[in-house]
Homo-oligomer: A and B are copies of this chain.
């Protein structure tokens, strides 16, 4: 690891390269204008920032009294202002142009005039209110940004201005977010990380050790809370964040920004080595939690969120500075953006020098929970590509208040995007007309519900009775995982989601000779002493082509499927039965998908769509297929997702628009599931999944007069090629 480029905030020293003290001193004067030719990526950032700051200079200082919720005028104005303070400070460092410094100073002084007189925000809702914003979280983000900008100009200001800003804004805001908000900063939660970062950066800047220690160790400095404790508890040993990918992304910025400052100011803490390098693991894992650049929308998540976000610009720059791993450069290239800091400068320069290497996307079993013992998030990738096949299995923890009731849920992506989908959150971020941009009522009533996921619903209830605090007490169990093609798998179980019902699911990604796309086999088994209604939903993206089920259709009158737990939001399009399994085929982009089902006998198939009981048009309308088995105790749902064919609108050539599957049978024999799959190309094989998942266990069953033997939890056993009937 080469010397770290990092935030140095002490004593008003400009942001700088953390080299020996002499180097810092030499670098402490702002650079002369045009002193350095910048790489295109960084030059573009400087231009963008200069445009923003110049526009702000022209518009004059606007620091309105806080009034509006997210998306409203004062909300957006204060957000804009902290960005301007950050950018103007960096531009002053880079160009030495005092107009930038003076604009940042004037904004900071205006806030120093305003802030001390503020009480709780008038638009406060169900979150802890801030002073400048409706929730204190945004105040923390303000402080993290403002301090970084202020740090670049502070040394060049007269003492009176420094005092005014230090004591009118920075210190009171840091006090408000620490001593003034124990219910925030003492939590183990991303809001607390932002608060700790704001408070800690302020402490370093003001040389206020008390603030720094409270940020690092909690208000009582015991280490039971604070930044280090958050590092201990919020990430699993694999760098997976308890709340899921969306909040992992969000949480990352204060983690890496504060860590860079700690590394610079308290190098003896070796913060990047802390907990076996957890911070850099977290950055890498964050990038791994994307498909085609977009974050997998588990738990509360906005689907539009990609690697193109401020948090990831910071994380990539700081991680590259810390590791020099050229794979980070390819991410920066995809982002097309970086940050205005010295770390961003290096990223841009090395990218321009052609040093980028592809990001090594691979299958991963990300342990969940602080000790890695609370299940796992499984990512099975069909190839190393940015947008190739990806099967996700969510077998971990609840994920706190933003968690969904979706343990053992699965998703599937490929080059067409999301195929087996997750609704994400019901929220229009910062769109004022949609509940001020906050989470919508349908987030609780639909998005979090078990039926809104691809997981078995027992008796139309949510997992854990819909109580996330109860959900926090229980993790899923990751029984086995196989990450290597051509037979990748996850086996997981949970017996706490529903009283008296054991649930076990094997998800298997199969590469098959002669098929361009892998198959996904899903073997889900419920075990219970009592009879239940079992509903297994599949939320898919695409247009229905056809089915071998004769649905009784609701053609001219459409009713809802149920009354609660998300069922009230489902319009029923049709119901049908079919004795010996069923198939539904849909089309998305250029590809066809056939979903083959082997549920318990007597199962009903229900086609439905989200959007019922949605008075304010808050929901997207998306299709779902539900396999419903009534009065069942022990039941197996065995399903196969088969991508096939190609639709080319340019050439009008369509190939393989119908399934290539010739046989698909499930048997339970001798504590094992045996699934026979035969394809039109003559390939025929059995996938065997043993209940005993120990790697060394040897298994042996007779199937249709043929002895099948294998070792370990999952095997694919080839059968002789069949000739076409």
Contacts and interface: CB of A to CB of B under 8 A. Distances in A.
A429 B654 contact: yes
Interface string A86-122: 0000000000000000000000000000000000000
Nearest to A568: B556
A296 interface: no
Interface in A641-668: 647, 649-655, 657-658
A305 interface: yes
A118 B249 CA distance: 64
Contacts of A632: none
Nearest to A614: B555
A302 B431 contact: no
A18 to B, nearest CB: 28
Contact of A613 (B76, B305, B555, B612): B555
A634 interface: no
Contacts of A655: 76
The 4 closest A-B pairs by CB, nearest first: A304-B649, A544-B617, A558-B558, A430-B654
Interface residues on A, range: 35 or more
Interface in A221-239: none
Given A76-B653, A429-B652, A573-B617, 19 more contacts: A71-B654, A79-B652, A79-B653, A428-B545, A429-B654, A430-B653, A430-B654, A432-B657, A432-B658, A433-B545, A434-B546, A543-B617, A545-B617, A546-B616, A555-B613, A557-B560, A558-B559, A558-B571, A609-B621
Contact of A556 (B434, B559, B573): B559
A553 interface: yes
A585 interface: yes
A434 B654 contact: no
B657 A433 contact: yes
Contacts of A558: 557-559, 571, 612
A649 B429 contact: yes
A571 B655 CA distance: 34
Interface in A563-605: 568, 571, 573, 585, 587
Contact of A654 (B76, B613, B615, B657): B76
Nearest to A73: B655
A306 interface: yes
Interface string A413-452: 0000000000000001111111001000000000000000
A437 B428 CA distance: 38
10 contacts: A71-B657, A79-B653, A304-B649, A431-B545, A433-B657, A555-B613, A555-B615, A557-B557, A558-B558, A558-B612
A372 to B, nearest CB: 32
A661 to B, nearest CB: 15
Contact of A620 (B305, B543, B617): B543
A650 B310 contact: yes
Contacts of A609: 621
Contact of A433 (B557, B612, B621, B658): B658
A433 B614 contact: no
B428 A587 contact: yes
A56 interface: no
B433 A585 contact: yes
A496 interface: no
